Every structure is written in C-alpha cells, then in structure tokens.
Amino acid sequence: MNKEAIDALIEKNPKLVSARAKLETMSAGNYCLHRSWGFGKIVDYDEANDRIIIDFEEGKEGHAMAPAFCVDKLEILKPDDVLVRSRTEPDVIEEMIKKKPADLICDILKTSDSQAMMTSEIERVLARVIGPIKYKKWWTATKKVLVVDPRVGAPIKKSDPYIYRDEPVKPEEEILEQFHGTKNSKQKILLGEKLYALSEDISVVREEMPQILEELTDSIANAKSLSQADRLHGVWVRNNLARDLHEDVEILEPSSASILDSTVDFSELAAELPATYFKRYLDLIRRTYPDKWQSMIEDLLRNSSGKFTSECINFMLEQELNERISYCLNRWLNEQTIKGPLLFWVVKNRHSKKYADIIEPLVTPRLLAAMFYAIDYEALQNASTRRIPLADLLSDDTDLIPDLLAEANVETARDLAQTLLLNQGFEDLTKKSLLARFIKKFPTIQSLLAGEAAESSEEDALIVSQESFNRAKQEYEELISTKIPENKEAISIARDHGDLKENSEYKMARQDQDILLSRKNELEVDLSRARVTDFEEATTEVVGIGCVVELKEGSTKKTDNYSILGAWDSDPENDILSYKTPLAQQLLGKEKGETVTTKIGGNEEQWTILSIKRWLDIKK
C-alpha cells in the first residue's frame, strides 16, 4: 500500500489512524503470518477494490483481504525474521538447523523487541521453520546446548523466558549469581544441580565451593517448605559438589541415610523424586537397610508407577531377584492387590524379550480380571474426570484382549465380559467396542449377554419421579464436586500431622472417605437403573405406580389413603409409599374389592381395596 491509499483509507475510517505504521508495512514483497491461514507473502495491492493480495502457503493463493479488516489479524514479518529467511535464504537456515542449532535460536531471539521469548513462542516459530513434528526432537537436543551457550540465558523456571545477551556470560557465573541471590531453598538445590552439570572440572568454582556447600546444607536442614524428597535430592546435589573437597561425603549431615530414617512413606518419597535419581534411591535403601531392603523394594514396586516401576524391576534383576519378582507378581495377582500402574507396566512390556520370563506366564485371563478390578477401583476412587491410563491402554491396544483370552474358555470369557459391563471405568461406547473383541473370539457371548441384559434390565430398573431423580443427581454432583475433593484435602492435611498409626484425624478422614465413596458408588448404580416417570400411565382399574389407594384395615372400620409412587418418593408421614415397600408390592395389579395380606415382624395384617384413584388427578 502506498501513502495515498493509506491516507484515503484512514480518511474513510478514522479509527485506523493508530494503525498507520502497520498499514505502511503491508506492501508487496513483505511476508506475513495470519492467525487462521498461516504463512504468506503479500504480492499486490488492488487499489480499485481496496484489497491487498496474499499468497498463503497453505493453499490460498491470490487471496484478497481488506486492510481495515485484517490490520489486527495479520502479523507483518521483518526481513530478518527466521521464518522469512527460511524462504529467502533456505540454505543458510538449513545449515544452522543441522550444524549450528544455538545460532538459529540466537537469531530467533534477536528478532524479538525485548530479545527474550518464552519457550512456547520459540516452539511456534520452530514448528513453522522445521516442521510441526520434526522440531520436537531437534528442540529437545538444542535446549541442552543452550544451557552452556554464553550468549543465551536459559530459563531456571518454566515461567522464565530464554534471553539473548549482547555480552556473553559464562553459565557458571550466571548460576552462581542466581544461587547466592535466591532465598528459595528448592531453587537453590536446582541451581546447585545445574552448576554441577555445567562444570566438567569442578575446580572452576572451587573457591566458591565452601560457601556453596554451607548454603546448601543450611537449606536442606532448616527450610520448612522442603519435602523429604526435596531434602534427599538436595543432599545428593550437595554430595556431588562436595566430592572434590571431601573424601567421604556420607559423613556430612544431614546425610541421605538420616533422611531415610525420618521418612514415613517411602513410596510417596519415590513419587516426588526426579526420575534421574530413582536408581540412586533404590541403592541407598539397599545400603542403609541391609537386613530388610529386599522387602522394602518389593513394597515400592507394588506401589510404583511410570518410570519408577521399570527402575524397581531392573534393580531387582541386577540383584538377581528374578524368581522373587515372578513370585510377587503372581501373589499380588492372586490376592487382587496388584495396582493399575504396575499392571500397566506388565501389559505394556508383554512383548519385551528382556522381561519375557517374568511376564509371559502372567498373560492369561486372570490378568484381564485384575485389570478390570483395578480400573473399577480407580474409577470409584477418582472424584474428577481424569482419564484412567490402564483403561485407555486396554481400549487403544486392539491386540490386548485377544492376547489375554488366548487360553480362556467360553465361560471364563463370558464372566469377564459381564465384569466389563458392570465396570465404572469405561464409557458405554468404549464398553461396546471392547465387547466386540470378546465376541470376535467367542461369538456365543453376544446372545448370552443380550439375553441376560434384557432379563436383568427389566428386573433391575427403578421407576422414579423426576423430582426424586433430580434430588439424587444433585446429591451425586455435590459428592463429586465438593465433598469428595474436600475429604481428599482433609486426608492430605491429616497425613502431614505425623505418624499415621497414632493419627486420629487421618483415621477419621479415611473413614469418611469410605462412606463417601460407598455412597458415590451406590448413587452411580441407582442413577444408571433409574427410569423417570410422570405417572401419566396410572389407571383406576388396577393398582399401579401413580395410584392413590383407599384401604380398609382388617375387620375394623378404619380406612387409610396411600399414594404409591416412585422408588425414591417414600414419605410415610404424608402417607406416600414407594412401590418397593412390602404393602405396595402386594397391592400392585390388584382391583377394587380385593384383599391382600402383609406379614411384618411376625404379625399378619389384611387390607381391602375400597377405591383406586390417579395421583395426578388428586394432585391437580
């Protein structure tokens, strides 16, 4: 766009005066980035129709856009922008991608007005320059290079940006400055770890080392904000740095062994440790507790998840405990105490040659039963909508159910299929998809399940009013959104109070949890069985749900009027009976003049039906 065109546009729309500088950049030859259509190049300006013409790389060539419309949606890129250069000088950019990754990041940072960019901003550029998939592996490797590049200030926290420095600074000097400047104990530990990772020759900071060790030790020993895992991590960082000054770092207090001795929950500590220290943690337990380390690591394995599960297995294999691993897995399977994350590891590694001797004997229908149990248990414990990894794996791995049913007979398969139907951890569509895998191997399951489902559906249905259904649903939603989360928080707070064996607050909170989860499970089952009615189908010919019945009690002249309504509508004080009550069950289907007998507590009572009316008619 030329000056005359911009003047005319602003005269027509005075609000654009503040965007003059942006409009002046909308000239042919400049590259741009649109929120929806991506990267493009301005190729012309149609003055007659007041349109800039843009060739977008994602298929919209010769696209006409009104400058007034796109002024706040179109980013005009500078000639030195890396994305522009990837088109104007592709060989240079390709060379940097392959051989000089830090140079490429420096060039990206330099084009920013502040010479600083958040990780997410850099990744958006890289996705366009390198490719949305290829850049991820490249970026992971490049971040390690940037940590030691004096031109770049790498972020300490995720919320910090990458910074391009006009004057290069040695990484050790920058980290030392941050280390001495921060009062945050956890931050001090992380900076100490970075310092150790950077210094191939620790003598670079030898003069500073006594003060570094003193500050670290003080943070580990006295900071109230640190967890046991933070303290153990800090001890290991301190010991790594101290080995250049001390022959035996284990004598430094607090020691890693002293932190273990003051730990209540070893599994919780493991879950909070950085993954790179898992093996060191297991070896520390072996050295600290020579008489009971094996049983401790077995317990850690039983409660493990993710990478820590593999680390526990590999550690036990290194200690030649192959048979013990097999024994534990078999025992936990038989006892149904094996947990979801460990089952996830077993299933995920079932084709691994390394673990074949351990896993192959477990790949049976019994393993599938344990998976269903673990998924159902986690669903009942889970108050949020968080996904269940084991359930997702079972759904995504199409070979898993056929593998686990390879040795099953039709009865076993049917029992497992019925277990699946009752499972709380799967949505209905997922259940149907998983059942199809059962039916493919055992076609008769379809008819068996269809017949039983039809039979049980009618028997198990609960006829309820809309009002009572809404009350039950509201109670369930309050459990999910408020009561169960509050209870989890109460358990967490009570756990922090110390020894769980003597902790009455913890025990009470856990008892409350059992009650809440039991009620949650009960409501889920009841709501799934509920069939809402408006009582319109009630008649006056026979007693049914939605009728008001006038009864004569025995041989007396006393009469009572009872409304027979839904399963959750009982209100004895107002003479409203659930159709599930013994008297209502005897009355259903009976006509005027008939007599029924009820037996309650050994006493028989007779009731004669004098009249039948519709509850809706009386309610009006």
| Domain shared by 440 and 355, yes or no | yes
CATH number of the domain enclosing 528: 1.10.287.180
Strand order in the sheet with 152-153: 116-117, 162-164, 152-153
Q: Please tell me which of 98-107, 213-222, 511-520 the model is most confident about, judged by mean pLDDT.
A: 98-107
If you average pLDDT over residues 466-486, what whole number do you get? 89
| Domain shared by 13 and 73, yes or no | yes
**CA dist list (Å): 327 to 173, 330, 347, 414, 583:** 53, 5, 17, 28, 56
**In the chain, pLDDT over 90 holds for what percent of residues?**
40
If you average pLDDT over residues 450-460, what whole number do you get? 53
Residue 124 has phi, psi (to 5 degrees) of: -65, -40
Q: What is the pLDDT of residues 67-82, one digit of tens each?
A: 888 888 888 999 999 9
- Return the minimum-mean-pLDDT range out of 180-184, 408-412, 502-506: 502-506
More confident residue, 174 or 483: 483
Q: Can you give the pLDDT at residue 569? A: 92
CA atoms of 299 and 328, how far apart (whole Å): 10
- Measured from the Cβ of residue 32, the count of other Cβ atoms closer than 10 Å reads 23
| Domain shared by 559 and 487, yes or no | no
- Measured from the Cβ of residue 534, the count of other Cβ atoms closer than 10 Å reads 10
Do 343 and 448 touch, CB atoms closer than 8 A? no
Rounded to a whole number of angstroms, the distance between the first and last alpha carbons of the chain is 75
CA atoms of 613 and 618, how far apart (whole Å): 8
- Give the alpha-carbon dihedral of 64, 67, 72, 73, to 10 degrees: 10
Residue 307 lies in a domain: yes
Q: Can you give the pLDDT at residue 244? A: 67
Q: Can you give the pLDDT at residue 324? A: 95
Q: Can you give the pLDDT at residue 385? A: 59
Say whether 148 sits in a helix, a strand or coil.
coil
Say whether 442 sits in a helix, a strand or coil.
coil
| Amino acid letter, residue 262 | S
Do 307 and 278 touch, CB atoms closer than 8 A? yes
| Domain shared by 517 and 369, yes or no | no
| Domain shared by 566 and 527, yes or no | no
Residue 199 — pLDDT band, cuts 50, 70, 90? low
CA atoms of 164 and 109, how far apart (whole Å): 6
Contacts of 67 (CB under 8 A, 6+ apart): 1, 9, 23, 26, 50, 51, 52
Examine residue 254 and say whether the peptide bond preceding it is cis (omega within 30 degrees of 0): yes
Q: What is the pLDDT of residues 201-220, one digit of tens each?
A: 555 567 778 888 888 888 88
Q: What is the pLDDT of residues 103-117, one digit of tens each?
A: 999 999 998 889 999
Residue 229 — pLDDT band, cuts 50, 70, 90? very high
Q: Helices 307-318 and 278-288 sit at what angle, rounded to 10 degrees?
A: 50
Evaluate if residue 611 carries a pLDDT over 90: yes
Residue 512 — pLDDT band, cuts 50, 70, 90? confident
Q: Give the residue carrying structure tokens 């109230």.
A: 224
| Domain shared by 610 and 478, yes or no | no
Do 535 and 616 touch, CB atoms closer than 8 A? yes
Domain termination residue (choose one: 77, 108, 124): 77
CA angle in degrees (0–180, nearest 5) for 339-342-347: 115
Residue 364 lies in a domain: yes
If you average pLDDT over residues 419-435, what whole number do you get? 85
CATH number of the domain enclosing 595: 3.10.50.30
Contacts of 7 (CB under 8 A, 6+ apart): none
Evaluate if residue 453 carries a pLDDT over 70: no
Residue 274 lies in a domain: yes
If you average pLDDT over residues 543-548, what whole number do you get? 92
Q: Can you give the pLDDT at residue 513? A: 83
Evaluate if residue 551 carries a pLDDT over 80: yes
CATH number of the domain enclosing 24: 2.30.30
Q: What is the pLDDT of residues 245-300, one digit of tens each?
A: 666 777 778 889 999 999 999 999 999 999 999 999 999 999 999 999 999 999 99
Q: What is the pLDDT of residues 139-161, one digit of tens each?
A: 999 998 888 788 888 887 778 89
Residue 429 lies in a domain: yes
If you average pLDDT over residues 589-596, what whole number do you get? 91
Evaluate if residue 447 carries a pLDDT over 70: no
CB-side neighbour CA atoms (13 Å) of 71: 18
| Domain shared by 306 and 425, yes or no | yes
Do 609 and 590 touch, CB atoms closer than 8 A? yes
Q: What is the pLDDT of residues 431-444, one digit of tens each?
A: 888 988 998 888 87
Q: Can you give the pLDDT at residue 503? A: 61
Q: What are the tokens at 281? A: 């943690």
Residue 138 lies in a domain: no
Evaluate if residue 501 carries a pLDDT over 60: no
Q: Can you give the pLDDT at residue 194? A: 82
Residue 89 lies in a domain: no
Q: What is the DSSP letter of 167?
A: S
Q: Can you give the pLDDT at residue 168? A: 79
CA atoms of 374 and 135, how far apart (whole Å): 38
| Domain shared by 526 and 554, yes or no | no
Quote the number of domains for the chain: 4
Q: Average model confidence (pLDDT) for the chain?
A: 86
Measuring CA to CA, which residue among 485, 478, 509, 484 is closest to residue 496? 509
CA atoms of 191 and 174, how far apart (whole Å): 10
Say whether 338 sits in a helix, a strand or coil.
coil
Q: Can you give the pLDDT at residue 608? A: 92
Q: Give the residue carrying structure tokens 């009249």.
A: 611
Q: What is the pLDDT of residues 566-575, one digit of tens each?
A: 999 998 888 8
| Domain shared by 426 and 289, yes or no | yes
| Domain shared by 330 and 436, yes or no | yes
Q: What is the pLDDT of residues 339-393, one digit of tens each?
A: 999 999 999 999 999 999 999 999 999 999 999 999 988 887 765 557 889 999 9
Evaluate if residue 200 carries a pLDDT over 80: no
Say whether 282 sits in a helix, a strand or coil.
helix
Do 234 and 226 touch, CB atoms closer than 8 A? yes
Domain that holds residue 611: 547-619
If you average pLDDT over residues 445-467, what whole number do you get? 67
Say whether 1 sits in a helix, a strand or coil.
coil
**In the chain, pLDDT over 70 holds for what percent of residues?**
93
Domain termination residue (choose one: 77, 92, 112): 77
More confident residue, 385 or 87: 87
CB-side neighbour CA atoms (13 Å) of 395: 17
Write the DSSP string, 68-98.
Answer: HHHTTTEEEPPTT-HHHHHHHSHHHHHHHHH
Q: Can you give the pLDDT at residue 205? A: 66
Strand order in the sheet with 576-578: 576-578, 559-565, 547-553, 603-614, 595-600
Residue 105 lies in a domain: no
Do 364 and 400 touch, CB atoms closer than 8 A? no
Q: Can you give the pLDDT at residue 202? A: 55
| Domain shared by 426 and 482, yes or no | no
Write the DSSP string, 552-597.
Answer: EETTSS-EEEEEEE-TT--BGGGTEEETTSHHHHHHTTPBTT-EEE
Domain termination residue (choose one: 77, 102, 135): 77
Task: Tell me the sheet residues that pair with 41.
Answer: 31, 55
Q: Can you give the pLDDT at residue 90? A: 93
- Measured from the Cβ of residue 445, the count of other Cβ atoms closer than 10 Å reads 19
Evaluate if residue 11 carries a pLDDT over 90: no
Residue 26 lies in a domain: yes
Q: Can you give the pLDDT at residue 433? A: 86
| Amino acid letter, residue 71 | V
Q: Can you give the pLDDT at residue 430? A: 86
| Domain shared by 615 and 587, yes or no | yes
Q: Can you give the pLDDT at residue 123? A: 92
More confident residue, 79 or 510: 79
Measuring CA to CA, which residue among 294, 291, 373, 283 is closest to residue 327? 294
Mark out the alpha helices in 256-339 (DSSP H runs): 256-261, 266-272, 278-288, 293-302, 307-318, 322-335
Evaluate if residue 450 carries a pLDDT over 70: no
